[in-house]
Structure 1
Amino acid sequence: MKNTLLVLASALLLGACATGPQGLHIDTSHTSQNQDSRALFLVLHYTVLDYEKSLRVLTTGGQVSSHYLVRDEPPTIYRLVDENRRAWHAGPSFWAGHSNLNSSSIGIEIVNPGYKDTPEGRVYAPFSQPQIDAVIKLSQDIVARHGIKPERVIGHADIAPGRKQDPGPMFPWKQLHQAGLIAWPDAAQVAAKISGYAALLPDTAWAQDKLARIGYNVPRHGELDELTKQTLVTFQMKYRPALYDGVLDAETAALLDTATTPGGMRMATTPLEGPTKPYTSRW
């Protein structure tokens, strides 16, 4: 019996050690509580290409990649890069104090042609509902496994406004809210603030401050330059896709105010339906 216990103890001791390069022994019996996932962000894109071209660009020598590709027809999810490795999908990027998000994010590319510029203006292509359903299910799985916060589920345009537009105004961010993935400005608070801003609009410096508090990399000089305008466009594409002209009107001001007011952002308590609960950003 004594010999048996010694054998078991030796086995447990050896099990706590990992053999590294050149016979290096590493004890793995202790684990720190002070850690989290390397994946802090989930970034959503569209490909601007059909499926075959998207797959070729993302898997060959095009210097661009993503962890996942979601096909349109039939809606199929492909894993192209292991989540433990860095994919090249974000490029020059910034969100709420974090830059170069390739190193700290998981990227999902969604097959979609993007937009066409026509004589009537820019026209964005829609997404099919089955494809969006697949994106939502994949996002829910990634967010749950990595503990990604709602304010860190973002689009490529959010982290590179003006330079990028994807996933564009046709992407149904509201459905991601209903699925419990992101917070959304409380409609009652937005409606209550519109009349006040219709009577007196805030200035550009106010808008820049609000956009920066949300996470955007926006100038703070108080002038409506092109980057500030494109950042407003990006914000409107997400929260008011019916009109994204980059103009600071009363509704946009009400949305910005609500999005940066404690208790203004809400999480769905029941996915796809039901009441909402206040959400405070936990940067």
Structure 2
Amino acid sequence: MLLTGCVTTRFPIETAHQAQGQSERIEYIVLHYTAEDDQNSLEVLTTGRVSSHYLIPSGTDPRIYQLVEDHKKAWHAGMSRFQGKSALNDISIGIEIVNEGVYQQYLGSKNYLPPEAYVPYKPLQIQKVAELLSHLIKKYDIKPTHIVGHSDIAPSRKIDPGAQFPWEYLYREHGIGAWYDEDDKDQFLMELNQAGMDAIPISRIKQELARYGYHINSSDEWDRASRNVIYAFQLHFRPERLTGEMDAESLAILRALNKKYHPDALKF
């Protein structure tokens, strides 16, 4: 006979003294697109070495598929770092959305892709994402800055969920995730335009990116790896103009975000 429920031993297990050195497993939620159709997405995520906790199908399918239980680790993030933490598979829930990713003519491009390269999501998909995120955020008390894209945590490897993922809409209409205040952005942009971008050391800008959470090297140049971080930041917070270059508007947005979510951020 199989026994279920509490596991017992011959010796009493005392639980009255709980250690302070512990944390919940689930701290982040990572959004992805599958770059496959429904059938292939489901097959890859259930039979291969890649998996996710949830899959949002396309079309009119009303279901949300749960492929891995929340308390178990799914293999969706790969090599990843954010806010000083690595191996985010261990501490996150992964949500895959069926979406082609980028249009065929842009596949294989070595350039930073423009917004129009990315395939839009279906309204029903975004509705499902919003409801699922709202549920998970409430259940696990997820911080706004811990709702991230795959590109945020692996900027040199990944560009999903892409420029068509509606981060701003989810924030404004559903209170999901992090977004900057327009007044703060405008104020910082005015100051930056007056001072000039050349007056700001690259190392200080990189510190500001790191303060928000991005993993970036400390070199005093915008090498390819550093520009990948800028592109990831723009995918999330300024998807209408993607350059991989740090300009005044991008920096103003970054500073507005740090003022709102990391008020101890370094000042220029």
Structure 2 contact 147–178 (Cα < 8 Å) conserved: no
Correspondence for 1:192 among 165, 187, 195: 187
Q: What is aligned with 2:148? A: 154
Deviation at 1:146?
1.1
Q: What is the alpha-carbon distance in structure 1 between the residues aligned to residue 105 and residue 190 of structure 2?
A: 35
**Are the counterparts in 2 of residues 219 and 228 from structure 1 also a CA contact under 8 Å?**
yes
% of aligned pairs identical? 36
The secondary structure found in structure 2 opposite 1:115 is coil
Q: Which amino acid aligns with 2:232?
A: T
C-alpha contact (below 8 Å) 2:53/2:69 kept by paired residues: yes
Deviation track 1:171-194 (CA, whole Å, cap 9, x = no partner) reads: 000122121222211101111221
SS of the residue corresponding to residue 49 of structure 1 reads coil
Measured in 1, the distance between the counterparts of 2:158 and 2:7 equals 45
* Counterparts of 1:150 and 1:180, CA distance in 2: 9
Check the 8 A contact 2:99/2:121 in 1, yes or no: yes
Note closer, same or farther for the CA distance 1:231–1:24 as it changes in structure 2 (3 Å cut).
farther
Deviation readout 1:237-262 (Å, 9 max, x if unpaired): 1111110101111111111121222x
Aligned residue number for residue 95 of structure 1: 82
For the aligned residues, what is the CA RMSD?
Answer: 2.3
Aligned partner of 2:208 in structure 1 is: 210
1:233 and 1:246 in contact (8 A); partners too = yes
1:168 corresponds in structure 2 to: 162
Distance 1:157 1:26, change over 3 A: farther
The change in CA–CA distance for 1:33 and 1:133 in structure 2 (over 3 A counts) is farther
* Structure with higher strand content: 1
SS at match of 1:108: strand
Aligned to 2:250: 252
Which residue among 31, 47, 50 is the counterpart of 1:44? Answer: 31
Give 2:75's aligned amino acid. W
- Matching of residue 71 in structure 1 with residue 57 in structure 2: yes
Distance 1:194-1:29 versus aligned 2 partners, 3 A rule: closer
Alpha-carbon distance between aligned partners in 1 of 2:123 and 2:14, rounded to the nearest angstrom: 46
Task: Name the aligned partner's letter for residue 124 of structure 1.
Answer: Y
Distance 2:91 2:185 in 1: 33
Structure with more relative contact order (C-alpha pairs < 8 Å, separation 6 or more)? 2
Match of 1:230 in 2: 228
Q: Is contact 1:67-1:107 (8 Å) kept?
A: yes
